[in-house]
Amino acid sequence: MTLYTSMPLELVLSGMNEQPGPYVDIVIGDIKMQVEPMSPGIGKIVRLLECPLDAYLNPQYSPGTMIAYSAPQA
Give residues with Cβ within 8 angstroms of 72, minimum separation 6. Answer: 24, 25, 26
Could you report the per-residue pLDDT of 23-68, keeping only the tens digit for each? 999 999 999 999 999 999 899 999 999 999 999 999 999 999 999 9
Domain boundaries, the chain: 22-68
Phi, psi of 51, deg, nearest 5: -165, 165
pTM of the model: 0.70
d(Cα 70, Cα 57) in Å, to the nearest integer?
24
Calculate ∠ Cα 33-37-38, nearest 5°.
Answer: 135
Q: Which of 62, 54, 73, 74 has its CA nearest to residue 35?
A: 62
pLDDT at 13 over 90: no
